[in-house]
Amino acid sequence: MKQKLHLDRAHLLEQLKQMLRIRRFEEKCAELYSQEKIRGFLHLYIGEEAIAVGIMSTLKTKDNIVATYREHGHALARGLSMNSVLAEMYGRTNGCSRGRGGSMHIFDKSQNFYGGNAIVAGGLPIAVGLAMANKYQQNQAITVCFFGEGAVAEGEFHEAMNLAVLWQLPVLFVCENNRYAMGTALALSESETNIAKKASSYGMTAVQVDGMNVVDVEAASNKAVEQIRKTNQPYFLECQSYRFRGHSSFDGQLYRDKAEVKLWQEKGPVIRLIQWLKENNHLVETELSQIENEIKAEIQAAITFAEQGEWEPIADLSKDVYSPAIEAPHNVSQGEQ
């Protein structure tokens, strides 16, 4: 561990549990997908858990979160119930988006969780807009925007960077650099692969973090969030990470070496934390089993919840395209509705 923080054992165990929760959930999703319970696309967060867990633990409820289609981990870390997330992937009405969105469109307004976006870099301008509202309302809230390093190639990334700094908006940009944008390695798509450097060229504070180390991530995020709240300036965290599975379920991973994958797995966030805790006598085997069992039970309950969920009646197909009708504004002449 590089940094020593005021972290106690309880907190570390909590972080471990959160990461394991995500890990086991994602593994179960892979299995459910292979049995056609989950359909469409499935993008797993396995290997990257430290980023979501580390950052979410530094945020407040009033803060906004914008994420991508690889957002199950972020949703769980944020506090969306596993039940509602899984039911959403099952397409049932008891899912957080009433089953309308699926894996890529997890939304929960009560948690200020704004998705769940399937357009690469599409969430960045939206995050800047949310931050603009925060600033205007002077509510001390910030907006955190998660995206992969693949988004850096899109025009909207650069537009968002520019606007955030230009207008001094409270955004925390978190680039989860897992080195592969679907099947294209970073070096094959960026002339300048140092992403933090790109961000700082816009005048933004930009820091690189070991995304496999939940303690490092949390420490960096704490610092960033504090600065953003104080100065209303955006901040950029580039978290170096790796995804252990393919881009999505149907990925033969022809673009990378199995040896490379294995290497990263050995320094994965969960393993490393467990190792450290054990080495420092902060973790006993029985505690770990207990955590695993609790998670297993939670997952099983989520499966039951999802299986029992209802299918939305086809008669309601056109629901929620528009908001319910509103009162006419005062300008309209009487009787002319």
Partner 1 sequence: MTTQTLSYREALRAGIEQALVDDERVFLMGEDVGRYGGCYGVSKGLFERYGDKRIIDTPICEAGFVGVGVGAALGGMRPIIEVMTVNFSLLAMDQIVNSAATLRHMSGGQLNVPLVIRMACGAGLQLAAQHSHSWENFYAHIPGLKVLSPATHNDARHMLIQALADPDPVLIFEHVMLLNTNGEVSEQSDAAMEKAIVRKQGSDVSLLTYGGSLAKAMAAAEQLQAVNISAEVVDLRCLRPLDTKTLLASVKKTHRAIIIDEAWLTGSLAGEISAIIMEQAFWQLDAPVKRIATVEVPIPYPSHLEQAALPQVEQIVAAAKDIMVAH
Partner 2 sequence: MLEDITMPSLGADMTDGTLNEWLVKEGDKVDVGDIIAVLETQKGAIDMEVYSAGTITEILVAPVAKVSVGTVLARLALTDTSSQAPLKKERTETLTTELKTSDVTKEGISQEVNTQDTHSQHDNSQEAGVNILTAQVESVQAEAMQTSRVLASPIVRRLAKEQQLDLAGIKGSGPQGAILLADLNAFLANDEHENISKTASSEQNMRQAIAAAMAKSKQEIPHFYISLAIDISAAQQWLQRHNKNKSPDERVLLLALLLKALAKSLLKYPQLNGFYQDASLPSSVFQGDVSQGEGFKQASAIHIGNVISLRQGGLLVPAIHDVDKLSVQEIMESLRDITQRSRTGHLRTSELTDASITVTNMGERGADSVFGVIYPPQVAILGFGKNKKELILANDKVTEVDKITACLSADHRVIDGMIAAKFLNYLSKQLQQPERL
The residue among 55 and 66 lying less far from partner 1, judged by its C-beta, is 66
282 closest CA partner among 3, 5, 2, 7: 7
Kindly list the residues in this chain that would bind partner 1 in the complex (CB under 8 A): 64, 66, 95-101, 105, 107-109, 114-119, 122, 124-134, 136-137, 143, 155-156, 159-160, 162-163, 166-167, 319-323, 326-329, 331-333, 336-337
Contact between 293 and partner 2 per CB under 8 A: yes
Residue 293 interacting entry, from partner 1, partner 2, none, C-beta within 5 to 8 Å by type: partner 2
Stretch that binds partner 2, among 73-81, 150-158, 299-307, 315-323 (CB under 8 A): 299-307
What is the rounded (10 degree) CA torsion for 183, 126, 18, 221?
100
Residue 289 interacting entry, from partner 2, partner 1, none, C-beta within 5 to 8 Å by type: none
Please state, in angstroms and rounded to a whole number, the distance separating the CA atoms of residues 188 and 152: 13
Contact between 41 and partner 2 per CB under 8 A: yes
| Among residues 119, 297, 328, 332, the one that binds partner 2 under rule CB under 8 A | 297
In this structure, what are the phi and psi dihedrals at residue 154, rounded to the nearest 5 degrees?
-75, 145
The residue among 37 and 158 lying less far from partner 2, judged by its C-beta, is 37
Token representation of residue 311: 């299918």
Stretch that binds partner 2, among 79-87, 211-219, 235-243, 289-297 (CB under 8 A): 289-297
Determine the Cα angle at 171 with ends 116 and 125, to 5°. 55
User: Which are the contacts of 68, defined by CB distance < 8 A and separation ≥ 6?
Assistant: 43, 116, 117, 118, 120, 123, 146, 147, 148, 151
Please state, in angstroms and rounded to a whole number, the distance separating the CA atoms of residues 330 and 23: 54
Which residue pairs, CB below 8 angstroms and at least 24 apart, start in 261-266?
A: 264/47, 264/212, 265/47
Neighbours of 282 (CB within 10 A): 17
Please state, in angstroms and rounded to a whole number, the distance separating the CA atoms of residues 165 and 148: 20
Contact between 77 and partner 2 per CB under 8 A: no
| Among residues 3, 5, 9, 34, the one that binds partner 2 under rule CB under 8 A | 34
Report 307-326 residues binding partner 2 (CB under 8 A): 307, 310-311, 314
The residue among 202 and 264 lying less far from partner 1, judged by its C-beta, is 202
Contact between 93 and partner 2 per CB under 8 A: no
- Check: CB of residue 43 under 8 Å from CB of residue 248: yes
Determine the Cα angle at 29 with ends 24 and 35, to 5°. 135
Token representation of residue 233: 């300036």
Binding-site string for partner 2 from residue 216 to residue 255, where x marks contact by CB under 8 A and - marks none: ---------------------------------xxxx-x-
Q: Which residues bind partner 2 (CB under 8 A)?
A: 27, 30-37, 39-41, 90, 249-252, 254, 293, 296-297, 300, 303, 307, 310-311, 314
